[in-house]
Structure 1
């Protein structure tokens, strides 16, 4: 990641390679969660029941353009 960086090398020597440790822990947790929580699929894609619609589904906000409003 930080090649030829004496400051980074010194920090790693003093504190350990924290970014690598965090990355490994995140990967481990991700694997554990994949076992416990099945991945979510978009409706109509993949096995299982469809997800319930989110609140507000079916409406969309539109911007009002400047000028007179249509009747």
Structure 2
């Protein structure tokens, strides 16, 4: 079932039509930022440095 199914959530479907699917866009941008951060920072060394 999709959140944009007009029979289940007509108000939400109308908002998506007017404004776009904001939660999906936020999710996409957050995933992109996480990928960029993962490439820029080696988080594996953070825990090792604090354990010294």
Shift of 1:39: 1.7
**Number of aligned residues:** 47
Helix, strand or coil at the partner of 1:25: helix
**Where do 5+ consecutive residues of structure 1 fail to align?**
44-49, 54-71
1:18 maps to 22
**Where do 5+ consecutive residues of structure 2 fail to align?**
none
CA distance, structure 1, for counterparts of residue 44 and residue 11 of structure 2: 42
**More helix, by proportion:** 2
Q: Which of 1 and 2 has higher RCO (CA within 8 Å, sep 6+)? A: 2
Report the TM-score when normalising by structure 2.
Answer: 0.72
Root mean square deviation, CA, Å: 2.2
